[in-house]
């Protein structure tokens, strides 16, 4: 087994917008084509565990980012988590890279990538991948996500309670045999309870999580995208609809769409191997090594 088979990462801090520092796992040769991975609302960079390792093993330079207010990144002092400031954070990270990256974003991360690319004065990326998110998501699906996050702001007595909550939200996904992965998305407070590893102020308005209130700005951004764009949707998802995809194609006619069977909104977690292969094929075409 060579070092190529077992990728190594370092934890790095980036100066984001307004003095907020962002934490990322960074791996691979910095002169290779770059890929920035952005997780969904309420997740952390650890949701990309399998994809990051595969991409680095394939030869890419990978930055797997904790969004502000999530994981080990700083919380916003003012509680600001709108797409404008998330896009500004992303631009600050891109500015440190040697090459224009491919942006891969799930849910909130995908909206951030779309907004940033569509509103940039000059090209900032060579390609864009959005994972189970479109400008006009299904309102009921978006509401279910927000309700899940709001229902557990008081934390959990133990990790088993957290596992039960995730299983209730994702009944099609097998319960984890080892809770270590889920523990990376939890933090223990002084009261001994476990809390999700994100700023609870994020859930004060649903528009900070999913884009039902941001349809027109995101459609306008999509109309200005001039780079290869892939939408990966979970075919069990209650967030992305056929009508919403058709609407996005109306302003982004060259959009590629890949449906992943037996996957819900959390596509990478539900079907990581299928997801990683799809991303790899897209990268080989649009960001060859």
Taking only the tens place, the pLDDT of each residue in 148-177 is 888 888 899 999 999 999 888 888 777 877
User: Binning pLDDT at 50, 70 and 90, where does residue 285 land?
Assistant: very high
Q: How confident is the model over 176-190, as pLDDT tens digits?
A: 778 888 888 899 988
- Examine the pLDDT at 4 and tell me if it is beyond 90: no
Nearest to 42 by CA among 152, 195, 196, 204: 196
- 180 found inside a domain: no
Phi, psi (rounded to 5 degrees) for 26: -125, 130
Asked whether residue 70 is domain-assigned, the answer is yes
**Domain containing 90: what range?**
9-137+213-286
Question: What's the Cα-to-Cα distance from 286 to each of 44, 88, 126, 127, 228, rounded to whole Å?
Answer: 26, 24, 7, 7, 7
Whether 264 is covered by a domain: the verdict is: yes
pLDDT at 206 over 60: no
Half-sphere exposure for 256 (CA within 13 Å, toward CB):
16
| pLDDT band, residue 212 (cuts 50/70/90) | low
Tell me which residue of 95, 63, 72, 64 sits closest to 21, measured CA to CA.
72
Specify the pLDDT at position 288: 94
Asked if the structure places residue 105 within a domain, the reply is yes
- Model pLDDT, residue 24: 98
CB contact set of 86 (below 8 Å; sequence gap of 6+): 67, 68, 108, 112, 115
The alpha carbons of the chain give a radius of gyration, in whole angstroms, of 18
> Which pLDDT score, from 0 to 100, does residue 92 have?
98
The answer to the question of residue 132 being in a domain is yes
Sheet with 102-106: strands ordered across: 9-15, 21-27, 61-65, 34-38, 102-106, 127-131, 229-234, 256-260
| The predicted structure's pLDDT at residue 216 | 93
pLDDT at 56 over 90: yes
Q: CA-CA distance, 118 to 283, in Å (whole number)?
A: 20
Please check whether residue 276 lies inside any domain of the structure: yes
Instruction: Note whether residue 243 is domain-resident.
Output: yes
Q: What is the mean pLDDT of the chain?
A: 91
> Which domain CATH number covers 260?
3.40.50.1820
User: What is the count of structural domains for the chain?
Assistant: 1
pLDDT at 58 over 70: yes
For residue 259, tell me if it sits in a domain: yes
């Amino acid at each position: 087994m060579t070092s190529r088979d077992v990728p190594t990462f370092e934890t790095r801090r980036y100066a984001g917008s307004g003095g907020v520092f962002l934490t990322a796992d960074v791996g691979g040769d910095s002169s290779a084509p770059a890929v920035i991975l952005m997780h969904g609302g309420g997740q952390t960079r650890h949701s990309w565990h399998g994809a990051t390792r595969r991409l680095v093993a394939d030869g890419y330079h990978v930055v797997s980012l904790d969004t502000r207010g999530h994981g080990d990144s700083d919380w916003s002092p003012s509680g600001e988590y709108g797409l404008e400031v998330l896009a500004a954070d992303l631009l600050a990270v891109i500015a440190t890279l040697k090459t224009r990256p491919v942006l891969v974003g799930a849910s909130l991360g995908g909206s951030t990538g779309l907004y940033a690319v569509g509103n940039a004065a000059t090209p900032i990326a060579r390609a864009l991948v959005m994972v189970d998110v479109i400008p006009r998501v299904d309102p009921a699906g978006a509401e279910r996500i927000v309700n899940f996050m709001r229902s557990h702001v008081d934390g959990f007595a133990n990790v088993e309670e957290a596992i039960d909550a995730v299983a209730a939200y994702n009944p099609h996904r097998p319960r984890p045999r080892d809770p270590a992965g889920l523990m990376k998305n939890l933090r223990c407070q002084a009261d001994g309870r476990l809390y999700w590893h994100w700023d609870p102020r994020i859930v004060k308005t649903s528009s900070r999580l999913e884009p039902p209130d941001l349809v027109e700005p995101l459609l306008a951004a999509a109309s200005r995208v001039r780079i290869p764009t892939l939408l990966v949707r979970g075919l069990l998802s209650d967030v992305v609809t056929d009508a919403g995809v058709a609407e996005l194609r109306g302003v982004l006619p060259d959009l590629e769409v890949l449906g992943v069977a037996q996957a819900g909104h959390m596509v990478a977690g539900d079907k990581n191997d299928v997801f990683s292969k799809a991303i790899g094929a897209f990268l080989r075409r649009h960001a060859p090594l």
